[in-house]
């Protein structure tokens, strides 16, 4: 089957079997290897991508489900060679250790900050709850997200 969708802001069409997972098509057909497979059952979050702006586990999404949709992977977050502020803050706070979980956590945080640029600590915790990290703990990750939210606050203060 041919599946057409927007991938990292560019239209793509892939000819694949209908039972393929989005994760496998991204990695094997489209060579976007930033998306990782951890558990394969939607528990670890390493395979998180954005599907129409929402964080999803790509290991649980069949490729046919993305027909006409917009998919964003970690490769689509930066603008060219310029890192997104969230990526910069992950580096600055030491939230990146081995890096295996980082793309998924970044995308979960990115989705949160897109929807809610000024989240509370509880909202941040809920947003990244589906992402497991065994290296950093979560303090540095929370710090990076908070820092990005503070920068959002200085750019676009809350109204009311």
Q: Which two tokens stand for residue 133?
A: 């990290």
Neighbours of 134 (CB within 10 A): 10
pTM for the full model? 0.92
- pLDDT cut 90: percent of the chain above it: 88
Spell out the alpha helix ranges (H) of the chain: 22-24, 85-93, 102-115, 121-127, 139-155
As a whole number of angstroms, the distance between CA 75 and CA 153 comes to: 26
Condensed to tens digits (0 to 9), the pLDDT of residues 79-111 reads: 999 999 999 999 999 999 888 999 999 999 999
Domain 85-155: give its CATH superfamily.
Answer: [2Fe-2S]-binding domain (1.10.150.120)
Sequence-separated (6 or more) residues with CB below 8 Å from residue 123: 112, 116
Domain limits, CATH 1.10.150.120, in the chain: 85-155
CATH topology of domain 2-76: Ubiquitin-like (UB roll) (3.10.20)
Band (159; pLDDT cuts 50, 70, 90): very low
pLDDT, mean of residues 52-57: 98
Q: Range(s) for CATH 3.10.20.30 in the chain?
A: 2-76
pLDDT digits (tens, 9 = 90+) for 112-135: 999 999 999 999 999 999 999 888
Mean pLDDT value across residues 48-64: 98
């Amino acid at each position: 089957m041919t599946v057409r969708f927007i991938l990292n802001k560019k239209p793509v069409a892939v000819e694949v079997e209908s039972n393929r997972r989005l994760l496998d098509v991204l990695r094997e057909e489209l060579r976007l290897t930033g998306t990782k497979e951890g558990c394969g059952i939607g528990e670890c979050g390493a395979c998180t991508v954005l599907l129409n702006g929402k964080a999803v586990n790509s290991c649980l999404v069949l490729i046919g489900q993305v027909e006409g949709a917009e998919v964003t992977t970690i490769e689509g977050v930066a603008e060219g060679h310029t890192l997104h502020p969230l990526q910069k803050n992950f580096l600055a706070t030491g939230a990146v250790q081995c890096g295996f979980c980082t793309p998924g956590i970044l995308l979960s945080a990115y989705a949160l900050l897109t929807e809610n640029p000024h989240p509370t600590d509880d909202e941040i915790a809920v947003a990244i709850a589906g992402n497991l990290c065994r290296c950093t703990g979560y303090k540095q990750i929370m710090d990076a997200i908070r820092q990005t939210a503070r920068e959002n606050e200085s750019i676009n203060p809350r109204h009311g």
